[in-house]
Amino acid sequence: MTELTLKSATEIYERGLDELRSTTDPASYYAISEDGARRRLPLRRWLKRAPEEEEALLDRAVGPVLDVGCGAGRHLEALRRRGTEATGVEVSRYAVAIARERADEVIHGSVFDVPETENWNTALLLDGNVGIGGEPERLLGKIARLLHPGGRVLVELEPPQTESRVLNIRLEGPGDVSDWFPWAWVGIDAIGPIAAAAGLTVAETWSIERRWFARLRLESFA
């Protein structure tokens, strides 16, 4: 049995991105959850141009936009083509460097460190990023404090009747494995109470290409 070297999740994610960009036959990378589920990381999709269903979602984005966990910046690139002001925030330095090749405005760091200046009309939480930190209420609460009154969050969710849950996961690549860290999955029919706890309401939900999305609204009390 191959002995795995312990690395940070960010290091493994960055290695996967680098291999995909620099080799003709990149290895596969996985997220492993404590219940035994094994999900292949869609690194190739994350590096490509935003697909049709994401372009349709971005029709609902009003600038300025904050892309939370922007990764390699495909949504920022799509917004730039539209002439929509957008900024990404991302913890991986390597992903930030790629994103800055596609769009100039990218913050290296955590969304929890972004100053609460109510600068944003729209926030994006795509690619399962509602699960960041395993605390979707806390994450949405932070984002709500970044939005103008009347602002919106465009969030990708799990299909209907999916059990919302928090599990520890780790990333695994050839010869490497990360520490465990918490992640959340939220079903689209469970987002209402979580959004409400963050001061948001569900304005609409929809599905396209077997992906599920919601638009959450921060009510104006003026």
| DSSP code at position 131 | G
Q: How many helices (H) and strands (E) does the chain have?
A: 7, 13
Structure confidence at residue 222 as a pLDDT band (50, 70, 90): very low
pLDDT tens for residues 85-124? 999 999 999 999 999 999 879 999 999 999 988 789 999 9
Pairwise CA distance, residues 109 & 119, whole Å: 17
pLDDT tens for residues 126-136? 999 999 999 99
pLDDT score at 119:
85
pLDDT tens for residues 164-221? 999 999 999 999 999 999 999 999 999 999 999 999 999 999 999 999 999 999 986 4
CATH homologous superfamily of 50-167+184-218: Vaccinia Virus protein VP39 (3.40.50.150)
Q: With a cut of 60, say whether residue 2 has pLDDT above it.
A: no
Four-CA torsion 29, 39, 109, 58, nearest 10 degrees: 110
Question: So where are the chain's domains?
Answer: 50-167+184-218
Q: What angle do CA 10, 15, 19 make, to 5 degrees?
A: 155
Cα 127 to Cα 23, 28, 41, 131, distances in angstroms: 24, 18, 10, 9
